[in-house]
Copies of this chain bind each other. A is one copy, B any other.
């Protein structure tokens, strides 16, 4: 908040009503309270007053002060009495009994199957206390279990009452197995069809069948019935994403995708992924943390028009003009009726069974529509960035690299004293990023892990968990930002004091994997799954590995994780294509000791053809610019080609970043990037 602005007291509804009327606002105080409740349910954006554009096009200083005061008072309203987890579970069981069912599934997913979910949809966290980004609870009459993946075993144990929930590993002891063994014959297991994909529903149906039970779709989510102080849907302003960043107009995008649908004989596509809709319409919002998404649904017709299902209160002034007449906003509640109409028209409608809720398919089937199950048509074009987006990414990465390098230079001076904490380090890095042009937000909560905390892949420092950066340890920092012109994501691992021989050996093997990917050339049509082993071989050779993917797609001022491409052990049929942005992030983690990860973002690019080449080759252009800690490299483990890559990368980092940093940082940068071949 602006320190110069003194807080003003709220002067009452009469004063507010007068100010609203004078500003030409359509709101009265009661409706405004509902709007503000939605605003408060969204994460705070970079400008605390930005939401006021939703109230009136011009806000006088007096009105602004009153709005600020009202929002502050609503934000500080005493929360309803906190229920203990046992009481929540008991109330859920009572509700299940009332609905006549014997069990219920509580996934982490929301109605959009997204990674970041609004407070309103955090049902799993509300019920169990577990806040990880992947998990599902199964609640039966006499037992309950929480399933999380390996990343969250420790967190689950810390957050969840083991006397209420069995804690299980999602892969090693899948929910379907547990359900098949635990459900009684004849039992009905309920689920909310908005919160599961059709494939998940099939899996749970099969599990229930094995137990002689059955799976039952519920019209009302039992959690919603008992969660009395559930937040409203978030209402952050939806704004245009200008052409100077998007590189292609929304009209062009709509027409291209619609033409592809028409060619397949498809009348309409149902879009339920907010990032696809944001990309298609060149809009951005702020309904969830770290990803500038307006939550919405859409139906794209083969005539290139769009029905956009969105709370119209959150459309910023001028957005209707930006959207144009071919985009028809309507209430989210009217989606079902729109699907019914498609059925009545006998339309052929496509939806993505991997990304859309079973509810959509059920409703389409009931409406009589002919359903085509296929991937979201925006996914691939969104992933292949155009030249404007790529130039934006390069610019954003220069700025981001300068901020990170200033942080690393500061760390080199500050850390050896031994007093620096993980949170203080992360705060410092965030502060340096915030100063950058076009900065909007972090792209995810910074992972700032010292010593053994660095070995926790998705570590989040808290005051209870954080460590100091101590000599003889490693410090791992994985961070990124949302800039209007691009999204960044970078990990560096730094030796605090002198590293051990083991640390250097492991770091160098991780680096070999990173370089193997950075240098590889491959024919068009190659998938990330095919390349994954290149990043692991140096670790495999000595009996080591890491339990996460090697690379994920990254959006353009959108999700820091986006598909369809991946570099991963898991099979993936999506070829890497020119313009895709993907991370290159091998790692190694010794539990209880240290963690290592080296992450750059890269662009898939076309490569010049060698003499005699018969295939078109692709390779990677590195976007991320920041020194890789020379103190952690064991040169004997690198071959000439690897050393040449590192030296060329460091030379580029130095030349691109030196002009952007202060003199002290520049001097440190020169030393940090001197060629390895010169010892």
A residues contacting B by CB (< 8 A) are 180, 206, 209-210, 264-265, 348, 370, 372, 502, 520-523, 526-527, 529-534, 537, 540-545, 569, 571-573, 609-610, 612-615, 617
Tell whether, in the assembled complex, residue A537 and residue B520 are in contact, meaning their CB atoms are under 8 Å apart.
Answer: yes
Q: A530-B533, A533-B533 are in contact. Are A540 and B521 (CB under 8 A)?
A: yes
Which of chain B's residues have a CB closer than 8 A to the CB of A571?
Answer: 527, 529, 571-573
A12 to chain B, nearest CB (A): 63
4 nearest A-B residue pairs (beta carbon): A543-B613, A571-B571, A210-B265, A530-B533
Tell whether, in the assembled complex, residue B372 and residue A206 are in contact, meaning their CB atoms are under 8 Å apart.
Answer: yes
A229 to chain B, nearest CB (A): 42
A564 to chain B, nearest CB (A): 13
Which of chain B's residues have a CB closer than 8 A to the CB of A532?
Answer: 530
For the complex, what is the distance from the CA of A363 to the CA of B368, rounded to whole Å? 27
Which of chain B's residues have a CB closer than 8 A to the CB of A180?
Answer: 265
Tell whether, in the assembled complex, residue B209 and residue A569 are in contact, meaning their CB atoms are under 8 Å apart.
Answer: no
Tell whether, in the assembled complex, residue A522 and residue B529 are in contact, meaning their CB atoms are under 8 Å apart.
Answer: no
Centre residue among A370, A533, A571, A617 by max chain B CB count within 10 A: A533
For the complex, what is the distance from the CA of A543 to the CA of B502, rounded to whole Å? 38
Tell whether, in the assembled complex, residue B540 and residue A537 are in contact, meaning their CB atoms are under 8 Å apart.
Answer: no
Apart from the given pairs A531-B533, A544-B612, A544-B615, 12 other A-B contacts in the complex at a CB distance below 8 Å: A502-B612, A523-B540, A523-B543, A526-B569, A529-B530, A533-B533, A534-B534, A540-B615, A543-B609, A543-B612, A544-B613, A544-B614
Tell whether, in the assembled complex, residue A542 and residue B370 are in contact, meaning their CB atoms are under 8 Å apart.
Answer: no
Residue of B at shortest CB range from A519?
B541
Tell whether, in the assembled complex, residue A542 and residue B613 are in contact, meaning their CB atoms are under 8 Å apart.
Answer: yes
A586 to chain B, nearest CB (A): 14
A617 to chain B, nearest CB (A): 6
Q: A180-B265, A210-B265, A569-B530 are in contact. Are A523 and B542 (CB under 8 A)?
A: no
Residue of B at shortest CB range from A618?
B540
Which of chain B's residues have a CB closer than 8 A to the CB of A206?
Answer: 372
Partner among B209, B502, B543 whose Cβ is within 8 Å of the Cβ of A614: B543
How many monomers of this protein are in the complex? Answer: 2
Residue of B at shortest CB range from A588?
B614
Which of chain B's residues have a CB closer than 8 A to the CB of A617?
Answer: 540, 543
For the complex, what is the distance from the CA of A611 to the CA of B264, rounded to whole Å? 57
Which of chain B's residues have a CB closer than 8 A to the CB of A543?
Answer: 521, 523, 609-610, 612-615, 617
Which of chain B's residues have a CB closer than 8 A to the CB of A613?
Answer: 542-544
Which of chain B's residues have a CB closer than 8 A to the CB of A265?
Answer: 180, 210
Centre residue among A264, A530, A615 by max chain B CB count within 10 A: A530
Q: A206-B372, A571-B571 are in contact. Are A615 and B533 (CB under 8 A)?
A: no
Tell whether, in the assembled complex, residue B534 and residue A615 are in contact, meaning their CB atoms are under 8 Å apart.
Answer: no
Centre residue among A348, A372, A502, A529 by max chain B CB count within 10 A: A529
A553 to chain B, nearest CB (A): 17
Which of chain B's residues have a CB closer than 8 A to the CB of A609?
Answer: 543
A570 to chain B, nearest CB (A): 8
Residue of B at shortest CB range from A202?
B373
A263 to chain B, nearest CB (A): 10
A222 to chain B, nearest CB (A): 28
Which of chain B's residues have a CB closer than 8 A to the CB of A209?
Answer: 348, 370
For the complex, what is the distance from the CA of A214 to the CA of B639, rounded to whole Å? 61
Residue of B at shortest CB range from A543?
B613
Which of chain B's residues have a CB closer than 8 A to the CB of A545?
Answer: 523, 614-615
22 chain-A/chain-B pairs, Cβ below 8 angstroms: A209-B370, A210-B348, A502-B612, A520-B537, A520-B540, A521-B541, A521-B543, A523-B540, A526-B533, A526-B569, A529-B571, A530-B569, A533-B533, A541-B610, A543-B614, A543-B617, A544-B612, A544-B613, A544-B614, A544-B615, A545-B615, A571-B573
For the complex, what is the distance from the CA of A163 to the CA of B7, rounded to whole Å? 86
Tell whether, in the assembled complex, residue B210 and residue A264 are in contact, meaning their CB atoms are under 8 Å apart.
Answer: yes
Tell whether, in the assembled complex, residue A522 and residue B542 are in contact, meaning their CB atoms are under 8 Å apart.
Answer: no
For the complex, what is the distance from the CA of A544 to the CA of B613, rounded to whole Å? 6
Residue of B at shortest CB range from A370?
B209
Which of chain B's residues have a CB closer than 8 A to the CB of A523?
Answer: 540, 543, 545
Residue of B at shortest CB range from A522?
B540
A530 to chain B, nearest CB (A): 5
A509 to chain B, nearest CB (A): 11
Which of chain B's residues have a CB closer than 8 A to the CB of A615?
Answer: 540, 543-545
Q: A612-B543, A614-B544, A615-B544 are in contact. Are A534 and B537 (CB under 8 A)?
A: yes
A392 to chain B, nearest CB (A): 30
For the complex, what is the distance from the CA of A540 to the CA of B616, rounded to whole Å? 10
A351 to chain B, nearest CB (A): 14
Residue of B at shortest CB range from A180?
B265
For the complex, what is the distance from the CA of A85 to the CA of B348, rounded to whole Å? 39
Q: A210-B264, A372-B206 are in contact. Are A522 and B533 (CB under 8 A)?
A: yes
Which of chain B's residues have a CB closer than 8 A to the CB of A526?
Answer: 533, 569
For the complex, what is the distance from the CA of A540 to the CA of B609, rounded to whole Å? 11
Tell whether, in the assembled complex, residue A542 and residue B610 are in contact, meaning their CB atoms are under 8 Å apart.
Answer: yes
For the complex, what is the distance from the CA of A206 to the CA of B537, rounded to whole Å? 42
Which of chain B's residues have a CB closer than 8 A to the CB of A529?
Answer: 529-530, 571
Residue of B at shortest CB range from A608?
B543
Centre residue among A180, A523, A610 by max chain B CB count within 10 A: A523
A57 to chain B, nearest CB (A): 48
Residue of B at shortest CB range from A616?
B543
For the complex, what is the distance from the CA of A265 to the CA of B207, rounded to whole Å? 10
For the complex, what is the distance from the CA of A530 to the CA of B527, rounded to whole Å? 11
For the complex, what is the distance from the CA of A341 to the CA of B177, rounded to whole Å? 29
Centre residue among A210, A540, A615 by max chain B CB count within 10 A: A540
A150 to chain B, nearest CB (A): 13
For the complex, what is the distance from the CA of A573 to the CA of B530, rounded to whole Å? 13
For the complex, what is the distance from the CA of A613 to the CA of B609, rounded to whole Å? 40
Which of chain B's residues have a CB closer than 8 A to the CB of A610?
Answer: 541-543
For the complex, what is the distance from the CA of A523 to the CA of B370, rounded to whole Å? 45
A364 to chain B, nearest CB (A): 15
For the complex, what is the distance from the CA of A571 to the CA of B566, rounded to whole Å? 13
A162 to chain B, nearest CB (A): 28
For the complex, what is the distance from the CA of A537 to the CA of B523, rounded to whole Å? 10
